[in-house]
Every structure is written in structure tokens, then in C-alpha cells.
Structure 1
Amino acid sequence: MRPLRVALIASSRHPVGEPFPGGLEAHVWQLTRALKRDGHDVTLFAGPGSDPDLACGVIDVRPAPTSSAAREDISMPPERFMNEHHAYLDLMLRLSGELAGRFDLVHNHSLHYLPVAMAPMLPTPLLTTLHTPPTPWLESAMAASGQRGRFAAVSQHTANSWEHATGPLTVVHNGVDTECWSPGSGGDRLIWFGRIVPEKGAHQAIAAARIARMPLVLAGPISDHRYFSEMIEPHLDDTVRYLGHLPTSELSSAVGSSVAALVTPLWDEPYGLVVAEALACGTPVVAFEKGGIPEILTPACGRLVSAGDVEAMATAIVETIGLSRSDVRAHAVMHCSHRRMVDRYVELYRELVSTAQFFPMGAVQ
């Protein structure tokens, strides 16, 4: 079958490159690389500073060309909003104008409303992957676009949360590169990794590790400095250490040399990429039962506990560290691999291209 010409749209807020600001950037980076390796012609539109090896087209977020008179208008939205609005407006107009005909389809991973709202202008189908719970901006764009385009969700939980606006959705679980996230031998410490923000609940992992009387390391970008300084930093000592924001190779090594990973979301995690990454390293997981995580984690590779229950998490650690690391790794290879994810997306791409028309949301399964 002939290679496809695919335009991928990322979020403009962070560069798509290592060390990754979050799971969305890691996902888009992995998908882009895998599609290119498979021989497809891929152009990624992403924020400035993205991985140069991906040969990105830039979503040029810069000051919007508004006059001083316009900026003085009392209805003027915040500058960041206007800059993002202008950047995505410019991109979508280019995709429907000067870049029309260069792509077989557009795959949107941004969290912005304009790619969805402007889908009817494109000469090619638009597939949007929903990575978040519902937002008013995206729901409005879906309604305003006349339900044009195709939507997928990263978990059944996320699909269910959007169904009132989209109808039934195709689910394509996120995947991880099980070669990059390679098996490790374990160790005598716990690990927590991810974006350090309140909703990810790293402070809860510290509390559970204290109760279990086990050492803990944390890794990830400090996305909320106030939260880190007030809720994390005061608890750092010889038994709780912060490793920093690590590139994938170092993070994989840190996860693989840990006896278990703690995953503590205080919000409905749309998927839970850190769970899949830990399992790929053979590291079992103890996680709060939130969002899409129960779709990944089984009793053979970890334990689920009620959200916020650090006592239950501490108790579950004892059970979890006795699980077979080879079985944990096998579960990840079977259910969480990027190969499985990429193949499913390519199926959807070809389905859209072959029909040469747009589908109502959720109409094709």
C-alpha cells in the first residue's frame, strides 16, 4: 500500500522534544517518529524548539498583529489567548490554502478549538484525538463545525466523557516504545514520575512511601513552582529525593531500577501514560483508580486503590513488589506498545482517505 501524506498538529504551548514537558508531547513525538520509520510522509506542526530531527513546521506563536487601539478595547482577551488564536488561525488558513493538496489527511492533537472549528475548510479529512476531558472551547467548536471530521479518544473513559457531544467514539489507547522503555532489574526504592503539578499528586506518593517506610525518588518537570516549593521540597531528604527532569533514556533507567511505581492522579487521568511506561520497564504500579488507568492496570501488573487513600496505597505496595517483573513487561508489550497504537491510527487514516469524504462524529467504528 502506498505511503500516506500526513500532517500532524501538536499543541503550541510546549516544544515536542526531550526532555518532554508532558505525556501529550511524548505521545506526538513517538507517533511522528513511528510513522516516518514506516515510510509515511509526515509533517509535524509544533511549537518552537521542537526536535529538529522531526523536521517540524512551526506553529508560530508570536504577538498577534493587533493595533494599540485594539489592545485598548475593554473586550481584549489575555495576550496569550490572542497569540495562540492567531497562530492556529494562520496554520489552518495555510492548510486550506497554500498547503492544500500536500496532505492526504490532517491528524490533530492540539487542545485548541480552531482546528476543529475550521475542519470544514480543509480539502482533506481531519482526525482529532481527544486527550483531555471535555472543555467548553472544544465542545463549542464541534457544534459550530456542523459535526464534520472524525474523532478518536485515548481511552474508553475519555470516550465516555465526550459521548454527549460526539456520539460513540473510536478508542485508540496511547502506546509507548517498548524498546526505549526497556526492562530493568528493579531495586529497593519506589519511584514517582510525571509533571509536578497539584493534580498529579506527587505529595500523596511521598505520604504513601513514608507510611510504607520505603525510599522514594521523584522525576519530572516542575510545571508548578509554588506547588513544588510548598508541597514537595520541604519533604525532600535522604529517603525522598528529586532526580530532576530527565531525558527518556535516563528516566527509563530510573524506572527500571525501582521496585514499584506510584501513580497518584487527583483528577480523571485521560489515559495514564506513566503507567504504560513503568510497565514496559517491568516495574509494577500502584495507582489511584482514576480516569483511564483501570483500562491499563490489571492485578497481574499492579494494584488500584481509591483516589487519595495513601494508607491503602502503602498497604498495596507490599503486594505489588512481589509481582513477576517479566509478566509486567509482557503485559505492556501485549497491550501498551506503540506498534499497536500506530497500526490502529494508520487503519483510521486509510479509512478516511479511501472514502474521500468527512464523516459525522462517531459514525464510523
Structure 2
Amino acid sequence: MRIALLAHLRHPIAPPFAGGLEAYTWHLAEGLSARGHDVTLFAAGDSDRRFVIDPVIPVHHEASFPGMEHRGDAGLKAHVDAGYAAACDRIAAGGFDVLHNNSLSRLPLERHRTTAVPTVTSLHVPPYDALRWFVHESLTPGHRITATSRAHARGWWPDGVPQDVSVLANGIDPAAWPFQEEGDGSAVWCGRMARVKGPHHAVAAARRAGLPLTLFGPIEEPDYWQAEVAPLLGGPIRYGGHCDGATLARRIGRASVFLFTPCWEEPFGLVAVEAMACGLPVAGFAMGAAEEVVGEAGRLVSAGDEAALAGAIGAALAIPRTVPHARVLRLFTRERWLDRCEALYAQARAA
């Protein structure tokens, strides 16, 4: 198939990944290409050039509009809208068999666009007012919508999930996150350094439990980092930086437990799956999709309860490392994910 992938534009679609959405889109492009599909990635122009890139904007907008993503900046909105509108027009005229929309933009959801090109839209964030109405109004026979978990879908459609909406769980390549039979007794946390991800809770719980902890990930919110996380570093609590995938897999795999501390309605939790593939049981907060993702591979407590999280660390450490690894192989592999994507593309085209 000739497949157009439309990406979010805040960060480049290139490793080391700024977050789960960038990793998702990169691995989707890589996986579909490996299966023989003709893939064009519509993304920021500074994305990974191993792919065929059709630039939506010249460079990712965090570079040209730093810190403006959630501030309602009119200049950023106009810049992004102009790029997406032109990209959608090129997709419509480009002879593509299907569009997989991961953009978080309202423009690819307009009915005249989903009618022109069979479309699969994957939602990656909890519902918010600027997009909710457009998502709800966009359902047509040739448009399939996916959420990353059942909890995520219920958040978007609390009165009942429509028939044309399905769950498309994220998947990883287990070979990229090798299983390690033993840990070193430490805890690890990974994600964007942002308040909604809760690394400060992970630090507090690890201290209570008496475990050393290493934090990994990009510093997305510098003010939050400087005020609430950086002062906690020192001794057994350290920051390991923003690593490439292979380095991160080795460092996560050495640990004994993964701390997962979402403070919002987490749509999925790709970082937890990556750690589970390495054999790490999870201690975390029961927010959003956490229970669906972690299951028997961890222990979850109420969000924000650092004392309970410290207790959950001990309980998680008792779980054999084969349990989280087996759960990933059963539910969250890249091949299973790509099979579902191809099935959704076929459904959209047939409709």
C-alpha cells in the first residue's frame, strides 16, 4: 500500500525520542516500510531522513515557538494550521491508499478530507475541548478512529464508545528491550520531565522504600524540573539523562523495579511496556490505562499516594521478572500492533 503518515509537529520524528508519540510514529514508519509498504512521513522537516519526508513545517515547532505548545499562542496556531492544511491537500492529491493520522490536529478530521482519502486516526492524548467536537463529528464509513486503551476510549466517549472506534494498543520490538534475568536492586523511572508524569513522586517513594533511583528522559518543563525535581537529586537519587534507545534499554534492564507515576489520565504508558519487556515489574499509580497495561506484572496504588507507592515497590519486587516479560510478548509486540494497523487500513479502504 501507499501509506501517508501524518505526525505531530512539536518535536522531530527522530531518536532519541522526545516522548511516546514521537517513538510511536517513528516505529510505525519503520515497521510499515519493513513490511514492504510505500510510506511517506508528513512531519517536521528535521525528522529522520531515513524515511521519505514530506515536510509539514520546515523544523519542529518547539524550536521556532519554544514553550508555546499549551499557551494558545496565535502565531503558533497559524503556523501549524497552515502547514497541516497544505499537507492534507497534498495527501488528497497524492494517490495514497490510506492516511494514518497521528497529528492531534482538527484539520485531517474534516469530512471532506476523510471522504477523499481512507483515514485511520489514532488518538494519543486524553480528550480536550479544542479537539473533542471535531473527533466526535468525524466518524464516517471510511474513517476509523483508534484509542490506545479501553480507558482512553471511555474518556473520549463517556456515554458509549461508537462501533467504528477501536483499541489499538501500542507495541514494541522485544529484541530492542532485551530481557535481563536479574536486577541490581535499584529502581528506575523514565519519561518526559513534566508535572503530569510525576517524577517527583517517584523520588519520594524510592526514598521511603530505601531504594536507589535513576530518572531518565528529556526535561520538557524546565521550571518544574528546577523547582521540584533537581533539588531532590543527590546520593542514591540521580538523573541519567536523555539516552538513545539501545543505551536506555541496557540501563533500564539493570534495575529491579520500574516506577510509573502518571498524574493525568494516561492514555497508554509505553515506557512501562518497554521496562516490562526487560523484565522489570512495575510499581505505580492507577491512572488512566495503567491497570490495562500493567496487569499482573505490577502493583498499583492511588495517584499521589507516595507512602502507598513505597509499599507497592516492595510488593512489585516479589513478582518474578518472567511475568512482565511474558505479558509484553502476549499483548504488546510490534508485530501484533502492525497487524492491527494493516487490518484497520483494509477496513477503511473497504468502507
Taking structure 1 as the reference length, what is the TM-score of the superposition? Answer: 0.88
State the match for 1:331 in structure 2: 327
Q: Is the 8 A contact 1:208 1:310 kept in 2?
A: yes
State the match for 1:154 in structure 2: 148
Separation in 1, partners of 2:203, 2:108: 40
**Greater alpha carbon shift after TM alignment, 180-189 vs 194-203:** 180-189
State the match for 2:228 in structure 1: 231
Q: 1:132 aligns with which of 125, 128, 131?
A: 125
Cα deviation, 1:23-70, whole Å, max 9, x if unaligned, reads 00101111111111111111111112211112222111579xxxxxxx
Separation in 1, partners of 2:238, 2:82: 42
Tell me which amino acid in the other structure corresponds to 1:141: F
- Name the SS for the 1:18 alignment partner: coil
**Greater alpha carbon shift after TM alignment, 21-30 vs 140-149:** 140-149
- Within-5 A mapping of 1:56-75: 56-60=53-57
**Greater alpha carbon shift after TM alignment, 15-24 vs 139-148:** 139-148
User: What is the Cα deviation at residue 196 of structure 1?
Assistant: 0.3
1:305 matched to 2:301: yes
Structure 1 residues 165 and 318, CA, compared in 2 at 3 Å: closer, same or farther? closer
Which 5+ residue runs of structure 1 have no aligned equivalent? 64-75, 358-365
- Name the SS for the 2:265 alignment partner: coil
State the match for 2:211 in structure 1: 214
Structure 1 residues 279 and 95, CA, compared in 2 at 3 Å: closer, same or farther? same
1:344 matched to 2:340: yes
- Name the SS for the 1:59 alignment partner: strand
Separation in 1, partners of 2:151, 2:309: 22
Identity %: 36
Q: Is the 8 A contact 2:214 2:238 kept in 1?
A: yes
Cα deviation, 1:104-153, whole Å, max 9, x if unaligned, reads 11010111111112553653211101111112222232356575622111
Separation in 2, partners of 1:56, 1:281: 32
State the match for 1:117 in structure 2: 110
Tell me which amino acid in the other structure corresponds to 1:330: A
State the match for 1:360 in structure 2: none
Structure 1 residues 187 and 138, CA, compared in 2 at 3 Å: closer, same or farther? same
State the match for 1:71 in structure 2: none
Q: Is the 8 A contact 1:204 1:310 kept in 2?
A: yes
Cα deviation, 1:145-188, whole Å, max 9, x if unaligned, reads 57562211111011111225962421111111111111123212
State the match for 1:167 in structure 2: 162
Which 5+ residue runs of structure 2 have no aligned equivalent? 61-71
- Within-5 A mapping of 1:234-313: 234-299=231-296, 301-313=297-309
User: What is the Cα deviation at residue 194 of structure 1?
Assistant: 0.2
Taking structure 2 as the reference length, what is the TM-score of the superposition? Answer: 0.91
Structure 1 residues 143 and 191, CA, compared in 2 at 3 Å: closer, same or farther? closer
Structure with bigger gyration radius: 1
Separation in 2, partners of 1:92, 1:166: 27
Task: Return structure 1 stretches of 4+ with deviation > 6 angstroms.
Answer: none
Tell me which amino acid in the other structure corresponds to 1:218: L
RMSD: 1.9
- Name the SS for the 1:320 alignment partner: helix
Separation in 2, partners of 1:110, 1:217: 32
Separation in 2, partners of 1:175, 1:217: 25
State the match for 2:82 in structure 1: 86
